[in-house]
């Protein structure tokens, strides 16, 4: 597999990934969603065990934590760290076309506590046995994914991407119904509520003021929030 071009490897991993059991709910709009997953793959080293009857199946078990979707704009992303020059040029293009204040959703994930187990048998049979067990136990927010061992992280990322896509419509509708996409002076209402919440937490000593300052600066709103920010340091 290593001799194949990267694009071909990625395409193979994406096409070979199957979600055997989906979570019963979409990603929460106003909270954190935790999804336990079992990523089942045929062990990459099986091809070396010529003549052996049993084949090993690798089960990666972990937790994907999806943070609450954050309302952002292209202008906000332009001030966000971690984007390359070309991404910046694209965001500046959106701004020049009048879309700099158009709100959208930013999703963030963490993969936590992954551990690996080995089972014997056919990979699909192992995956469906796990599905049957989870169904009997009525584990609503647990998923079973069949993927590729060498590119297991691609299989996991495809699962996350598809889950996000399936959740997007409901998340957008719920946020829109709350009026959180309404923009005032370039900042959506959801972002203003987030800034006010961070300011309140910082006054209580629960949030580093530097993180609050960074969020305000990303919205280009320090002049507007300067007095409230400096009030954090007044005891």
Structure tokens at 101: 């204040």
Q: How many CB atoms sit inside 10 A of residue 49's CB?
A: 12
Structural domain that includes position 65: 6-69+107-181
Does 33 fall in a domain? yes
Provide the number of structural domains found in the chain.
1
Q: Which residues contact 24 (CB under 8 A, 6 or more apart)?
A: 140, 141
Rounded Cα distance between 43 and 54, Å, is 11
Range among 67-76, 92-101, 161-170 with highest mean pLDDT value: 161-170
80 inside domain: no
Question: pTM of the full predicted structure?
Answer: 0.80
Please name the residue that has the structure tokens 């996409």: 181
> What's the burial of 205, exposed, middle or buried (CB within 10 Å: 0-12/13-18/19+)?
exposed
For residue 39, tell me if it sits in a domain. yes
User: Is 202 inside a domain boundary?
Assistant: no
- Asked whether residue 151 is domain-assigned, the answer is yes
**What is the tens place of the pLDDT at every residue in 188-231?**
999 999 999 999 999 999 999 999 999 999 999 999 999 999 99
Closest by CA position to 1, among listed 48, 57, 38: 48
Mind listing the pLDDT tens digit for each residue in 6-34? 788 888 888 999 999 999 999 999 999 99
DSSP 4-42: S-HHHHHHHHHHH-EEEE--SSPPPSSS-EEEEEEEEEE
Q: Is residue 95 part of a domain?
A: no
Q: Does any domain span residue 141?
A: yes
């Amino acid at each position: 597999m290593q001799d194949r071009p990267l694009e071909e490897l990625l395409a193979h991993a994406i096409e070979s990934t199957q979600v055997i059991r989906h979570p019963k709910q979409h990603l929460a709009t106003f909270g954190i969603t935790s999804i336990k997953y079992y990523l089942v793959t045929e062990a990459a080293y099986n091809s070396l065990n010529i003549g052996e009857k049993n084949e090993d199946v690798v089960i990666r078990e972990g937790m994907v934590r999806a943070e609450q979707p954050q309302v952002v704009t292209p202008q906000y992303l332009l001030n966000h760290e971690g984007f390359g020059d070309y991404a910046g040029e694209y965001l500046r293009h959106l701004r020049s076309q009048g879309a700099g204040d158009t709100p959208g959703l930013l999703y963030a994930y963490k993969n936590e506590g992954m551990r690996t187990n080995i089972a014997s048998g056919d990979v699909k049979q192992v995956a469906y046995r796990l599905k049957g067990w989870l169904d009997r136990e009525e584990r609503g927010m647990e998923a079973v994914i069949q993927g590729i061992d060498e590119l297991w992280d691609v299989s996991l990322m495809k699962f996350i991407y598809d889950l996000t896509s399936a959740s997007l419509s409901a998340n957008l509708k719920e946020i829109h119904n709350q009026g959180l996409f309404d923009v005032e002076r370039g900042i959506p209402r959801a972002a203003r509520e987030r800034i006010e919440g961070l300011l309140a937490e910082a006054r209580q000593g629960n949030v580093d003021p530097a993180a609050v300052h960074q969020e305000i600066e990303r919205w280009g709103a320090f002049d507007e929030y300067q007095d409230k920010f400096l009030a954090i340091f007044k005891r």
